[in-house]
Structure 1
Amino acid sequence: MTLVLEEGKQVSLEQTGTYAIVAITKHGVELARHLHNQFSQTDLFYMSKFERGDEQRRNISLFEGNVRLLLPSLFRTYKGIIMIVSLGAVVRMIAPLLKDKKTDPAVVVIDDKGQHVISVLSGHLGGANELTREVAELLGAAPVITTASDVQKTIAVDLFGSRFGWTWESADKLTPVSASVVNEEQVAIIQESGERDWWQYDHPLPHTIKMYSTIEDALEAKPNAALVVTHRKLKQEEQPILNNGVLYRPKVIVLGIGCNRGTSEEEINKVIQTTLEELQFSIKSVKAICSIDLKKNEEGLLSITDKNNWEFICYSAEELNRTLIEDPSETVFKFTGAYGVSEPAAKLYSGANTLSLVKKKSGNVTISVAVIPY
């Protein structure tokens, strides 16, 4: 979608994310595309003269004209705006749009080299300070926060794990759970999978936020709210934890896949869907598909990874053969030079010693499933 920005005209946006990323320079676009790929819940906008040809597929919006004309629509639409534009220019552009600190979106500025991430507007109520920390951590940049009253230093529920690519199952409870956190009510965190280094402050978790080993333990404690991090689907008896809880999906599932040449995307997708359902795993937690390098140009695999924004990693037969597997196959070796494809590929990428599914053959597809251990 290309937006033509003209004075006096309203811009209609197709919003899919919660935050907008805006870039207007060559280096800024590079940085913006990287951030958009890593930071979920974002929509990306940059000038059409930097078009790469993959924008429609990646749901990136192009614009022609002065970026200043885009900002009113972004202000109305998004919770936060991340601008890779000079700070002075941003201040001048947003000044006429400011209304109230209770309603203005968060505005964060990144310099063209990605060295500093600056909280500009709505630091507390709008979440710009926490957004600044998250983006800076993701880019390896220095966060710049000047708010003197920045004392809460707690979890931003809607950004929890976002720099790792975590997504929430539903946004329905984001607001009440956030209220429980900032009002210092009892909040439970249950983390079954995903990165563990999400707490970045130099002090312990607030005493009102407690970690629990299992959902069952948390339910017994009767917290006011909960944050649940897991790749699996919750059992019926665990569902009450979400009465005032947010369910996060970390990117931890690795699919090792082998297939016959020319296997359709539809068949591969059906095997993936069926397998994850059998394991009671969420497809939102899939991080990558892995295979042998003979399949690096397999259209079905390329298409499905592209549509889902999953990584697609291929290994040589030699790399696969150096991995200890449970079910080596002479037949597979005859055709590929490797004693297995899906099983060793899943192990190689995930680093897991054991797999959730060693190997299953279905039609033209063989699949193995690993969960990245943290």
Structure 2
Amino acid sequence: MITLHEGVHPEIDVNNPYAIVAITKHGVTLARNLSNEFQRADVYYMSKFASGDEEEKGYQLFEGSVRLLLPSLFSSYKGIILIISLGAVVRMIAPLLKDKKVDPGVVVLDDKGENVISVLSGHLGGANELTREIAELIQARPIVTTASDVQKTIPVDLFGREFGWVWESAEKLTPVSASVVNEEKVVVIQESGEKNWWKYDKPLPKNIIVCSSTKEAINERPDAALVVTHRELNTDERTLLNNGVLYRPKVIVLGIGCNRGTSAEEIEAVIEDALQQLKISKKSVKAIATIDLKKDEEGLLEITRKHQWQFVYYTPEQLNEVPFENRSEVVYKYTGAYGVSEPAAKLYSGAKELLLEKQKSGNVTISVAIIPHS
């Protein structure tokens, strides 16, 4: 049992990404029932409502003001589901708020479970999505007030997130979001990445114009821009970012071969040189592909861990089935494959052509491919 004291934050043993918290008799019943359906949450409620099976079910009991529990929950969970009145929640969480990029999603349920309200971090913290999921589970009314959700338009801060797209900078998220929801002229330019980002069963809003090039977008004289590309923008193109967000889709595959024991520093230097040569953002790299002989190569493993890139490897037989230009008898003699970097990059990406054919530097050979999306 957790005993709460002013100024002391209890240690929280987190087993799930979400927490459900209740402080009333009916709220506890709702919390317990919800946890049976929503099994990714730890449950907390006041000890005076204990049923005797809490240890068996893994529920946490606490004594004292729930206000004292919230700081630990805020720092420990991705999302918090509070069965507490909305006004009380607002007052209790106000001192804990830092930034929408780090605050957890907070959802409030009323004591009868009739309404599920997205309160905090609706987009980045996932509270809107959580609200809809919980409401569906308990047959309640989801209440989401985020303008882009209500208007069914592009959520700028979530654009492409499901595909792994990342922003170059978050600086203009708020003003660009304002342009979108205020129905100002907004251009979307997409040079790479997944194309099925519009999820609503209606056409794009009239204020959003999809352009085929940055030149066309600049000629539109937009109020805001969403630019989706793996490449670096030139000076003229960067004027779109005066009130724009640059998204980096995960589309670049690095095919790499290296000598045994090559350091991560040397491999990374070759990667950076190749990307700079191609004018490609490192943030758009999705994976390193190689031969299975290198599946335990520490330098490659270190880099993929560092950047959270995928690490994939293929057998010589798989690589030899891929058509590529620079087949080598010497490589075949040592690996059983006629090449590593080129066929590995092609095989993973599905591309017919490479952005960069085999380029050797020191102990490293690199090829670069882009994942095509129709």
Question: Please, what TM-score do these two structures have when normalized by structure 2?
Answer: 0.72
Q: Alpha carbons of 1:72 and 1:183: their partners in 2 closer, same or farther (altered >3 Å)?
A: farther
Taking only aligned residues, the RMSD between alpha carbons, in angstroms, comes to 4.0
What is the correspondence of 1:259-298 to structure 2 with a 5 Å cutoff?
Answer: 259-298=258-297
Match of 2:90 in 1: 98
CA-CA distance at 1:8 after TM superposition? 2.6
Identical-residue share of aligned pairs (%):
53
Indicate whether 1:176 and 2:168 are aligned: no
Q: Alpha carbons of 1:301 and 1:65: their partners in 2 closer, same or farther (altered >3 Å)?
A: farther
Contact 1:68/1:93 (8 A) holds in 2: no
Helix, strand or coil at the partner of 2:332 = helix
Helix, strand or coil at the partner of 2:227 = strand
Matched pairs, number: 312
CA-CA distance at 1:340 after TM superposition? 0.6
Q: Alpha carbons of 1:346 and 1:145: their partners in 2 closer, same or farther (altered >3 Å)?
A: farther
Question: Could you tell me how far apart the structure 1 residues matched to 2:4 and 2:192 are?
Answer: 48
Contact 1:190/1:228 (8 A) holds in 2: yes
CA-CA distance at 1:237 after TM superposition? 1.6
Contact 1:259/1:364 (8 A) holds in 2: yes
CA-CA distance at 1:70 after TM superposition? 6.1
Match of 1:121 in 2: 118
Match of 1:333 in 2: 332
Match of 2:142 in 1: 146
Indicate whether 1:25 and 2:25 are aligned: no
Match of 1:114 in 2: none
Q: Alpha carbons of 1:207 and 1:70: their partners in 2 closer, same or farther (altered >3 Å)?
A: farther
Contact 1:130/1:156 (8 A) holds in 2: no
Q: Alpha carbons of 1:68 and 1:364: their partners in 2 closer, same or farther (altered >3 Å)?
A: farther
Q: Alpha carbons of 1:71 and 1:204: their partners in 2 closer, same or farther (altered >3 Å)?
A: farther
CA-CA distance at 1:198 after TM superposition? 1.1
CA-CA distance at 1:240 after TM superposition? 0.6
Question: Could you tell me how far apart the structure 1 residues matched to 2:3 and 2:229 are?
Answer: 43
Greater radius of gyration (CA): 2
Question: Could you tell me how far apart the structure 2 residues matched to 1:68 and 1:334 are?
Answer: 68
Match of 2:110 in 1: none
Match of 1:7 in 2: 5
Indicate whether 1:212 and 2:211 are aligned: yes
Contact 1:106/1:128 (8 A) holds in 2: no
Q: Alpha carbons of 1:128 and 1:260: their partners in 2 closer, same or farther (altered >3 Å)?
A: closer
Q: Alpha carbons of 1:317 and 1:247: their partners in 2 closer, same or farther (altered >3 Å)?
A: same
CA-CA distance at 1:239 after TM superposition? 1.1
CA-CA distance at 1:204 after TM superposition? 1.0
Runs of 5+ consecutive residues of structure 2 not aligned to the other structure: 20-40, 44-59, 108-114
Question: Please, what TM-score do these two structures have when normalized by structure 1?
Answer: 0.72
Match of 1:302 in 2: 301
Helix, strand or coil at the partner of 1:319 = helix
Question: Could you tell me how far apart the structure 1 residues matched to 2:131 and 2:252 are?
Answer: 26
Helix, strand or coil at the partner of 1:120 = strand
Match of 1:107 in 2: 105
